[in-house]
Amino acid sequence: MATTYDYIIVGAGSAGCVLANRLSADPSIRVLLLEAGPRDRSLFIHMPAAFTHAISRKPIDWGYFAEPEPHLDGHREACPRGKVLGGSSSINSMAFVRGHPLDYDHWAETGLRDWSFACCLPYFKRMETFSGGPDAFRGGSGPLNVTQPVFTSPLNQIFLEAAGEAGFPLSGDTNGAREGFGAIDQTIHRGRRVSTATAYVRPISSRANLEVRTGCQVTRVVIENGRAVGVELLQGAGKVVRADREVLLCGGAINSPQLLMLSGIGGADALRRHDIAVVADRPEVGRNLQDHIDVSVMYACSQTVTQTPCLSYPRKALIGIEWLLTRGGLAATNHFEAAGCLRTDDKQAHPNIQVFFIPLAVSPDGKPLASGHGYQATVMLLRPRSRGDITLHSADPVKAPRLRFNYLGDSADAAELADGVAAARRIFSQPAFKPYQDHEVLPGAQITTAD
């Protein structure tokens, strides 16, 4: 590793890998891409159905947990964050969902004129090669392969039929028409995960002006005369690497504010409590933390058509072997193949709930939750009102930050989530599901209110 570069990128995740690709396209610019975690060699990263094993698995996940949530009976929620080349794009569920156009237009209304949906759309198209081909909304020659799934369970089509019977619109492209139900795009290509590491960094690994370093954790940004001039590394006993142009923080929603605070940029009083020298008093750093909480609506299935039995050995092992030999079979999908966005109130401008269907009865860690056959919908709040924060436990850069999401801190979130559960139940009560439906496993038919 040299001692000076033009640009230093901290974090080789969803943003960092893209920046490394774009900046190093100029051969005269020296770029250093730093990643605290290892290279993306784990089998659990590349096999799509194994993503539940990648999430919360050290050393490729930071292993964060939130503080006890006061509105969730003190439960501590896991907060998966990729600690590996590709970042969270190497461990996520591979569902590819753009934001709603009105969200980007709202950014423009607040003063970010170049961030309207019309301004962003050319870049959305430029980034992808869509399996359905290019059109007014989709790209056909970008580095990121995005595919529409081939349904691996008949229940996916049944779910879409039921959504239509329940009165929700159906969409042939859920990233074109952003309201309604349809097949959900995946960042999977030829049976393997597509991450920003595989799409943006691996193809340019031979560039002489780009250096990628894994296993290198940054402990602070070095700031001189109000300007970021380099970074200090945990490895190498505080070795400093300098940037002639810029230091780019790409640690994501959790690690970037943590690193700013460790570098002396944050609320002055909070920094002094940890004996951190204040470089800039910015109390907003770490504030306004928000996350889209979700709940499951799960049913036992009266027919042997779901994929729940595939979660047990030896069936799981056979599925893995098939993938190793052919890159096909049930391990070549994330099993999130049908989904939709809906409004629980017609007065709302755009959808507030997203519903993912899974032809399995499974917990977030991949373990079966129902004996026999089952299926479920994950109901997700798209625009939560509750806000939390990120603070430091100490000045030790190795120690995890303190995460307080404050889920359901705003009572409106619980009400909207309950409305989302009601919408999912309405879909499952339609004639299309009648031949398959047994009884509700979660949350249970006796649960009928937000309380």
Average pLDDT, the chain: 94
Tokens of 91: 């461990």
The dihedrals phi and psi of 427, each to the nearest 5 degrees, come to -65, -45
Query: Average pLDDT for residues 109-114, to the nearest whole number?
Result: 96
The 8 Å CB, 24+ separation contacts for 102-110 are: 102/349, 102/350, 103/350
Instruction: Find how far residue 274's CA is from the centre of its chain.
Output: 31
Tokens of 51: 């993503």
In the chain, what are the domains?
1-70+79-94+193-250 (3.50.50.60), 96-145 (1.10.1220), 148-185+288-451 (3.30.560.10)
Q: At what angle do helices 101-109 and 117-127 cross, to 10 degrees?
A: 130
Q: Are 20 and 26 in contact (CB under 8 A)?
A: no
pLDDT at position 94 is 97
pLDDT in tens, 71-86: 999 999 999 999 999 9
Q: Is the pLDDT of residue 368 over 70?
A: no
Using CA atoms, how far apart are residues 312 and 358, in angstroms rounded to an integer?
A: 17
Band the pLDDT of 366: cuts 50, 70, 90. Answer: low
In the numeric block, the tokens 């509105």 are attached to 71
Tokens of 383: 């625009």
- SS3 call for 176: coil
Using CA atoms, how far apart are residues 78 and 295, in angstroms rounded to an integer?
A: 14
Q: Are 405 and 268 in contact (CB under 8 A)?
A: no
pLDDT in tens, 289-331: 999 999 999 999 999 888 877 777 788 899 999 999 999 999 9
Cα angle value 107/111/116 (rounded, 5°): 40
Query: Average pLDDT for residues 60-78, to the nearest whole number?
Result: 96
Using CA atoms, how far apart are residues 120 and 118, in angstroms rounded to an integer?
A: 6
Using CA atoms, how far apart are residues 301 and 307, in angstroms rounded to an integer?
A: 11
Rounded to whole angstroms, the maximal C-alpha distance in the chain is 70
Using CA atoms, how far apart are residues 127 and 144, in angstroms rounded to an integer?
A: 6
Q: Which residues contact 123 (CB under 8 A, 6 or more apart)?
A: none
Per-position b or e across 162-182, b if 16+ CB within 10 A of its CB: bbbebebeebebbbeebebbb
pLDDT in tens, 209-256: 999 999 999 999 999 999 999 999 998 777 999 999 999 999 999 999
Using CA atoms, how far apart are residues 371 and 215, in angstroms rounded to an integer?
A: 42
In the numeric block, the tokens 């479920």 are attached to 376
Using CA atoms, how far apart are residues 208 and 31, in angstroms rounded to an integer?
A: 10
Instruction: Find how far residue 262's CA is from the centre of its chain.
Output: 25
Band the pLDDT of 370: cuts 50, 70, 90. Answer: low
pLDDT in tens, 23-42: 999 999 999 999 999 999 99
